Amino acid sequence: MIEGSCHCGSVRWQFRGEPDGATACNCTVCRRYGVLWAYDYEGEGISVSGVTQSYVRGTVLEFHFCPACGCVAFWRGKKTDSQGRRRIAVNLRLAEPDAVAQIPIDHFDGLNSFEDLGRDGRCVADYWF
């Protein structure tokens, strides 16, 4: 299990298991936040706790952040899938570095093509150090 929290500790998340990858997205929001996302479904692979405020982008996503320290903790889909599950992604930059250092980076072009761009051999540690 990987755990993360905002700087002040008020907002927390848990990712059960090990993410297949950490997504670096270049969309207009993610590049400004500087986040690395790990995905699953709320209440299944990911659980979150604490009071957040959200920035709602269009009709698809809510970006949740701590109202005290401002750290972006996760995004949550506004709609559920056909099985009633809600997609969610946590910001791996809120985890302890050793817990996520070896997770490979997946690149996603959220700005132009909206396509997965694959991996280039780097991992989370390469983005931090």
Query: Which residue matches tokens 């761009």?
Result: 117
**If you average pLDDT over residues 75-91, what whole number do you get?**
94
Query: What residue ranges in 42-84 does DSSP mark as E strands?
Result: 46-49, 53-57, 61-65, 72-80
Q: Residue 69 has what pLDDT? A: 97
Give CA separation, 19 vs 13, 82, 92, in Å: 14, 23, 10
Query: What residue ranges in 68-128 does DSSP mark as E strands?
Result: 72-80, 86-91, 105-109, 115-118
pTM recorded for the entire structure: 0.92
Question: Tokens standing for 33?
Answer: 């936040």
Domains and CATH numbers, the chain: 2-128 (2.170.150.70)
Give CA separation, 129 vs 14, 119, 122, in Å: 24, 18, 12
C-alpha 11/C-alpha 71 separation (Å) is: 9
pLDDT per position as a tens digit, 18-56: 999 999 999 999 999 999 999 999 999 999 999 999 999
